Homo-oligomer: A and B are copies of this chain.
Amino acid sequence: MKPFPLNKAFTFLEPGPVILVSTAGRDKPNVMTLSWTMVLDFTPRFAFMTGPWNYSYQALVKTRECVIALPTAGMAKTVVSIGACSGAEVNKFEKFKLTPLEAEYVKAPLIKECYANIECRIVEYIKRHSIFILDAAAAWVDEKHQKKPFFHAVGDGRFIVDGEKINHRKIMLEKLPEGV
């Protein structure tokens, strides 16, 4: 995986794709599927929503670290299946044939099969709304997946694959942060 400029890493999450979140554990790493995410800043800072009903919650709270990984649409069935079982019962990296790779700043693993991986530190957990606030420390991409589409959850069991790209950069140039 190649380093990816941190100031552009928000562009992975801004479109609202389904993501994987890996966490470190005492014996083994774990991974969950998330769709309720948001960009909070270009630096980049992110938010996602989860709570004690997810097995990963304990690892997030204890380690205050995770990796956000961006799966391609070709991985959709695997990613949905990851979300349909619990790390309390299953070694998900083994079951779903995911390869954990060592990260640089956090103990949670990068996921080799994904296009992008963002190492994150948890800044805060807003308990009353179940919102985790995260700052990214490093971002990585595997360029062989670069042209592949990502996918989005509708929330009712259907998913939407990325289609056509349109460019309106000229209209919003003044709104873009420097270097993006």
The chain A residues found within 8 Å of chain B, CB to CB, are 8, 10-11, 14-17, 35-40, 47-49, 73, 76-77, 80-81, 83-84, 124, 126, 129-131, 133, 149, 151-176, 180
A36 to B37, CA, bound (A): 9
Closest-by-CB residue of B relative to A14 is B155
How many copies of the chain does the oligomer comprise? Answer: 2
A38 contacts which of B10, B15, B38, B167 (Cβ < 8 Å)? B38
A175 contacts which of B83, B124, B133, B149 (Cβ < 8 Å)? B83
- Shortest CB-to-CB span from A90 to chain B, Å, is 14
Closest-by-CB residue of B relative to A150 is B160
A77 to B176, CA, bound (A): 16
A151 to B10, CA, bound (A): 17
User: Is there an interface contact between A159 and B168, defined as CB atoms closer than 8 Å?
Assistant: yes
A-B contacts, 29 of them at CB < 8 A, read A11-B156, A14-B36, A15-B153, A15-B154, A16-B37, A16-B152, A36-B38, A36-B40, A38-B47, A39-B49, A76-B166, A80-B171, A81-B171, A126-B126, A126-B129, A149-B163, A152-B152, A154-B165, A155-B180, A157-B171, A157-B176, A158-B165, A158-B168, A159-B166, A159-B168, A160-B165, A162-B162, A162-B163, A163-B164
